[in-house]
Every structure is written in structure tokens, then in C-alpha cells.
Chains A and B, each alone.
Chain A
């Protein structure tokens, strides 16, 4: 049996079988989903609760004019009741007490008393209702005063709202709904995930090599297998662990995504949306009309736009960039780990290796705002940053030849790094006692095996 394979198997199985791996792999998506959906879920629940708000209207402008909402009920009270309600807010039926002053039109301010800090929904509703009411009143008064009969209508006509709908044209001329925000989100997630994977699994390689060297098991193993087999078995084994984790995440996230979809969106709306989409393909004019009628809410829009993204391409390129980037960095880390005896000496060599990785994360925020800029272009071609930066750019759309060139440069550099690492590793793994210099590492490259 091939020895690299035997080593690969050990590296893979010992890690995948660990409880901590299983726990982390299974819990992360759940945690992630929790962070995403829990606030929405809670907000949803909260708003179903009714809050009774007592209103003392000294201006006498609003009696019967304030509309209740799902969560807020207005209940007008008299001046005599005011003190009683205010003093007993803690125990009585009212959630809050709204006091509208006589001079509300000029003062533009009201007071809300409550025992607890009132929630945002209630506050917003009070705000909206009062504003809307006052605005209407002022406008009616104004129209009466100036005497232009259709002023109301004219004013309404000046109101403008533009919805910017981005449609990305694909090669075959078909339009696709896109969203800058979602591309940003996915780009950021993909870039950051690569950064994390490379960092976490690269340091696992490093720790593995250090462990073998410090345990002195390396001498036993390389009297059975070649150093390069040990190094590559370890690196590839850990890559497989990373891919396994990623795969489980993709499957779990997909499950959560679909589950959440059915929870938040009812079937009818989905069907309508599908119809509108098919109509849009053939007739853009008519679509506008239909879209206006349906008025899809935010979540639906989100799902619609997410469906416009080519996940197959993104996942495929993610795997390519993850593997190449990981191989590039982990082979360098393996080389460094093989050369030094102690963790302290490691830092001197680790810093130059991690600097480009961290630089990529810093560049990332810039690239995400301007994915077509020259910084983005160069950073997505330089092999040390390209795995992260190119992944950020891809959801925005990158010409295929740019991707190809970037992958080619990265692959060539990775190959070179592995070659170099193998040479350093072979010598370093058996060197004990002294801290080598960069110059010495360079010399090892020229040693005969």
C-alpha cells in the first residue's frame, strides 16, 4: 500500500473521529442559524403581544384618530384619571402612558411614561401615528388656506421613489436579478471562510509537524517512509478534514436555508413570484405592473435574489481556491515547523508567512466596496492573497479568463512552495538544538537528499 495513503488515513481518521471535531462541525451551522434567525423569530413573537397604551390628549386633536396596530392599542383617558394611571403603571393594565400636550403643533413633542423601557415597535407606532396625523392636519389646513383645490394631488405627484433593481446580463443575453448587498455578503463570507480554513488547518499542519518533531516520532517514521510522504500525507489528510467539515456545513446550511424558507414564506406567494419571474423574462413592461401588485416583502425578495446567484460556480471555485491556498500556506508552515524546535522560535518564521494572509483580510473590506478596482485586480492575482480576494470578487462576476490566470499563477506558486517546503522539511525535521537562520533554510534547498 502506498505510504502517503497510510499516513493520509491516519491524519484524517484520528482528527475526524475526535469528539471536538464532530461537535464543532455540527454545532457551528446551528449556532450560525441561531444567530441569524433567533432575533427575527423573537421579534415576530414580541409583536404579536398586545400593548395597551393610555393616551391623555390635552390638545384634543387625536381622539379617535389614532389607529391601533397589531401590537399597540390606544386607549384614551381623561385628565382626572391621569395621575392614577401614571402612579400605577407598574400594576395596571397599561403598558405605557402617552401624554400629548396642548401645544403639540408648535412643540412637536410628547411624553411617554412607562414602567419598563418601551419596545421599539410601540415607540415607532406612536411616532408614526402622531406624525401622520399631524402632517395630514397641517396639510389640510394649508390647502384650505392657499385655496388651490388640487394642491394635494399635485404634491403627491411630486413624490418620487425609485427602486434600483440590478439585472446582471449573462453571456447568452438573459437577465438575472442580482443584488449588490447579497453579492457583498456572499463574497465576504466566502473570502473570510477561506481565510479561516487556511489559517486553522494551516496551523493544524504546523502543530502536527511540531508534535512529531518534539515527540521524536519522526525518526521512526522516516525510517519507514520518505519525509515528503510524511509531509504530503499530513497536508492532504488535513485538507480532507477541512473539506469534510465544509461539506457538512454546506449540507446543513442548505437544510437550514430550505427549512427557514418554508417557515417564513407561504406557498401562494412563492407561486405568484415564480409566475412573475417567468413573465419578467418575456416582457419587462408588464412585469413592473405585476411587481407593483404583489409587493413582495423583504424576505421573499432576499430569497429571490439568492436564487439568482450561481452557487455551483461559487462552491466549485471555493473548493479550488481553498485547496490551492491551503496547500500554499500549509506547506510553508510545515517547512517552518520542521525547521524549529520550540514554539518560541516559530514566531520569527511565522510572521512573514501570516502577514500576507492578514493583509488579504484588510484588503478584503476595500475590495468588497470596489470589486473592479485595481487593488482588487492585483490582489486577486498575487498568489498569497488571491484565494481570499478572488473569492470576494466572484459573486460580483469576474471574467473567466481572469479567474483562469489567477488560478494558474496560484497553482504554479503552490507547486513551487511544496517543492521548497519538501526540501526544507527533509533537512529540518532531523535538526535539533539550534535555531536556524533564513540563510540556513536557503542552504537546505540545495542539499542532496
Chain B
């Protein structure tokens, strides 16, 4: 059973089509990357999950049954454009938001104490939010998002505004939440962090889902059979062995080793290629180029832009 299902959801705002027939399945315990250029419809999709807006058509299921208003207590959402009351004290503010998520005052206090100790920010409790730096405010927001121990967490660009140390701390906490059983939807443009954290991604472009799958499968699907080989030996002999089944992209000869980047046109098995090279040359290193998520993203979006 899927944890969260979005089935054939469409949504439009007067003339603007925000989502067209989008379906997504999220499994329990996944870190699900929701990717897409600006204005693709990610925020609308997240708002539908949060029940801020309702889809025009299509269905949304939570734990196998249609999403209900009370399910918002099971969801924690950290929006991209986020803020808190500037003149309110940090502690009061966190208590307020926790109570809005359905926690009792006493539970909220207990949990806040735990998190404030964990982040070592007890001293901020009576400070006004405006006295904190932006990174500090983000920490408070993160706590407010996860405090009610939601089953589903949605982070929209969570690392923006964090210094590398705090971003790392945050990443660590997010993965820990996953280990504790939470499911996470992760929306970002930072493809590096997608590769580090996500198990599964969906790419939305111009209101449509254009790519969906396990992160390994997606990359695998986008590889171009390009290989980087470093070897010792003669280039001509190597060329002869490979025959017409390759296309050389670059070749650099130096005193000790030669570096070759090539595309193998017979894509059956790369073990064959390795054996052919090894016949006449001594292989120093041999690797297949796996596209980064960044490349996948750009490739997919650009190829889709060409479509009418």
C-alpha cells in the first residue's frame, strides 16, 4: 500500500494551468524529491497535499484513504517563503504554532524543551524573533515544522539561508526523521542535495509530470554510454581493437598515461568494452559516466521545451 497517492490531479487558476493530470505515489519511509523549474506547479501540488487548495479534478489519498481535513495534523510543512511573527517571542510563537497543529500546551512545551536543548537554543526562548539572525530563525522554523511529529514532512528549499555547517546539521536531522519512520517530500533546486538525500524523484515541468522514478533508475536511464579511460599503451592499437563501435570524444596523450573519453555505440555490455581495451593496453582507470541529477534535470527540461 502506498503511503501517499496523488491520482490524476489537475488544477487551474482562471487562465493559468497549474497542474495537468499529475499522478505521484510516495511510499512510507521514502525521501521523495519533487523537482521542477520555477513556476512548474510544485508549490500548487504541495498546497494540494496541505489542503490549502483543492484540486479541480483528481484524487488524493493518505494511507490508502481519501485525504481528510484532520490529516493536516499528520503533516509538517516548511514553505520556501517562510516567516514568523517578528515581534513575538520565540517560545510563545513555537507554542502557538504547535497548538495550531493540534498539540496540547503541555505536550508542546515538553517537546519544545527537547528540541531547544538539542539545538542548544534555550537562551532564545524569551527573545523576539527579530533579534535573531536569519539562520537562527530558520532553525526555529524547522523545529516548528517537525515538533508535532508528523508522519509526512514537506520541505520546500529547506537549506536556503543556512550556512554549510547548519545545512549539514539540518540534513542530518531530516535523515534521522526518516529513520524514525517519517516520510519526506523534498522540493529543491539544489540537485546536489537531491542526490545526497532522495530515494525517489518526480520532475514537474509546465504543469505536467515528465519524469518519475527511483533516483538510480533515472540516472541509469539518462546515461549516454560515455566512458573515461586512463591507460598506458598505444592509441592506434586500441583504436584497431575497438573497430567502428565507438566514437572518440577527447584524447590526450602525455608522457606516462593517455586519457580517453569515448562513447560506445554498441551499448550491450560495458564489460566487452573493458576487455577490448585491456587487450593492447594497460588500464589505469576505467569508469562509465553516470549523469548527475543536475544533468538529468537540464536535459529533461530542455528536451521538453523543444516539444510543441
A residues at B contact (CB < 8 Å)? 1, 3, 6-7, 10, 14, 211, 214-217, 219-225, 430, 432, 443, 447-449
Contact = CB atoms under 8 A, between A and B. Distances in A.
A68 to B, nearest CB: 64
A217 B53 contact: no
A224 B82 contact: no
A225 B101 CA distance: 8
A347 B54 CA distance: 32
Contacts of A225: 100
A430 B97 CA distance: 19
Nearest to B141: A220
23 contacts: A1-B99, A6-B99, A214-B83, A215-B84, A215-B86, A216-B82, A217-B82, A217-B83, A219-B79, A219-B82, A220-B77, A220-B82, A220-B84, A220-B97, A221-B100, A222-B50, A222-B52, A223-B72, A224-B101, A225-B100, A432-B81, A448-B54, A449-B53
B88 A430 contact: no
A408 B80 CA distance: 45
Interface of B: 13-14, 47, 50, 52-54, 56, 72, 75, 77, 79, 81-86, 88, 96-97, 99-101, 104, 141, 144
A10 B100 CA distance: 11
Contact of A215 (B53, B85, B96, B100): B85
B83 A215 contact: yes
Contact of B52 (A217, A223, A432): A223
A217 B85 contact: yes
Counting chain A CB atoms within 10 Å of each CB, the highest count among B53, B97, B100 belongs to B100
Contacts of B53: 430, 449
A6 B84 contact: no
A443 B84 CA distance: 30
Contact of A220 (B47, B79, B88, B99): B79
Contacts of B47: 430
Contacts of B56: 448
B80 to A, nearest CB: 9
B67 to A, nearest CB: 13
A222 B82 CA distance: 12
Contact of B100 (A3, A214, A216, A219): A3
Given A217-B85, A449-B54, A223 B96 contact: no
A215 B79 CA distance: 12
Given A1-B104, A220-B84, 17 more contacts: A6-B96, A211-B85, A214-B83, A215-B83, A215-B84, A216-B83, A217-B83, A219-B52, A219-B79, A220-B79, A220-B97, A220-B141, A223-B52, A224-B72, A224-B97, A225-B100, A447-B13
Nearest to A222: B52
A295 to B, nearest CB: 59
